[in-house]
């Protein structure tokens, strides 16, 4: 079975600034290159990958594109663009990204913005309209119910924009809550056909993850599959952030064991490969 990891990161502290790492004392606060993932990637059965932005700067984008060009199994890059400057975003799309074969989507780290309604700024909405016109998908990296509420408002203003919830917008795994605001808003989001759900980052979602097992995560994946269906879910390893809770092989073992319990073989193929190709316009031939 072909498996697309839709959520990988690389970063280089000498080439770009990563404000979210300032003062970080964890293993993440160093340069991470794709080469060090290779043994675990091969052992995990992952056949294709998508790199996702780790900083709001063009230097990070250049690093990811360079990595993709030099890594045969990486087939796409989700970049950052200055969405608050619609004119510059349009110019970058026309002069650089629309002709870039590895360009597959855009993300902004909205979870690091003080205002959870950041996406609703008029200039940002205009930029998102541009993405929709070019059928460019957008990655939503929310961590609060307010981010889900904002995403729903974006969907009403830009109804043709395809969006995916990175890390399922941080389900309340640490509290074990089985019915609450996250559940209600994800159910509402599932009613919009252009929303997809990315099963990723759940080893660390909502914090307090020491001792977390597949059994803790499974109810939230099951809920999302029930709401979105097997046709609108995909998977990602969230490496190297996932290394805080488990190694790469362990992360994928958890994902695959959960899917094996919840899905038919045909649905697993959709979730692990087909949906990612459709959402990000990937070719894995």
pLDDT at 90: 98
Beta carbons within 8 Å of 271's beta carbon, 6+ residues apart: 199, 230, 233, 234, 235, 259, 263
Residue 233 has pLDDT above 90, yes or no: yes
Token pair for 42:
């091969």
pLDDT at 58: 97
Q: What is the mean pLDDT of residues 197-221?
A: 96
Is the distance from CB of 46 to CB of 254 less than 8 angstroms?
Answer: no
Residue 285 has pLDDT above 90, yes or no: no
- Kindly state the helix (H) or strand (E) to which residue 68 belongs, with its residue range: helix 58-69
Residue 249: CB atoms within 10 A of its CB come to: 17
Q: What is the mean pLDDT of the chain?
A: 97
Task: Give pLDDT tens digits for 34-65.
Answer: 999 999 999 999 999 999 999 999 999 999 99
Q: Does 240 sit behind a cis peptide bond, omega within 30 degrees of 0 on the bond before it?
A: yes
pTM of the model: 0.97
Q: What is the mean pLDDT of residues 86-108?
A: 98
pLDDT at 122: 98
Residue 172 has pLDDT above 90, yes or no: yes
pLDDT at 264: 98
Where do the structural domains in the chain lie, given as residue ranges? 4-280
Task: Give pLDDT tens digits for 264-273.
Answer: 999 999 999 9
Overall fold of domain 4-280 = TIM Barrel (3.20.20)
């Amino acid at each position: 079975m072909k498996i697309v990891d839709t959520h990988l990161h690389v970063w280089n502290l000498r080439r770009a600034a990563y404000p979210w790492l300032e003062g970080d004392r964890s293993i993440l606060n160093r340069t991470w290159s794709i080469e060090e993932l290779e043994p675990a990637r091969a052992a995990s059965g992952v056949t294709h990958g998508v790199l996702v932005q780790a900083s709001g700067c063009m230097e990070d984008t250049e690093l990811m594109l360079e990595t993709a060009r030099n890594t045969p199994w990486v087939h796409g890059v989700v970049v950052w663009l200055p969405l608050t400057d619609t004119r510059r975003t349009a110019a970058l799309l026309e002069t650089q990204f629309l002709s870039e074969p590895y360009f597959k989507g855009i993300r902004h780290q909205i979870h690091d913005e003080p205002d959870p309604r950041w996406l609703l700024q008029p200039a940002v909405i205009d930029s998102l309209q541009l993405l929709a016109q070019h059928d460019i998908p957008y990655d939503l990296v929310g961590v609060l119910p307010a981010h889900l509420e904002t995403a729903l408002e974006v969907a009403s203003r830009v109804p043709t924009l395809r969006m995916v919830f990175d890390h399922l917008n941080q389900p309340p795994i640490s509290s074990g809550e089985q019915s609450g605001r996250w559940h209600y808003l994800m159910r509402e989001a599932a009613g919009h056909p252009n929303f997809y759900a990315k099963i990723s980052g759940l080893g660390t979602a909502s914090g307090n993850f020491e001792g977390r097992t597949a059994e803790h995560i499974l109810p939230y994946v099951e809920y999302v599959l029930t709401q979105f269906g097997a046709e609108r879910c995909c998977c990602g390893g969230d490496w190297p952030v996932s290394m805080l809770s488990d190694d790469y092989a362990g992360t994928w073992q958890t994902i695959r064991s959960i899917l094996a319990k919840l899905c038919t073989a045909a649905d697993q193929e959709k979730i692990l490969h087909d949906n990612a190709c459709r959402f990000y316009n990937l070719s894995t031939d």
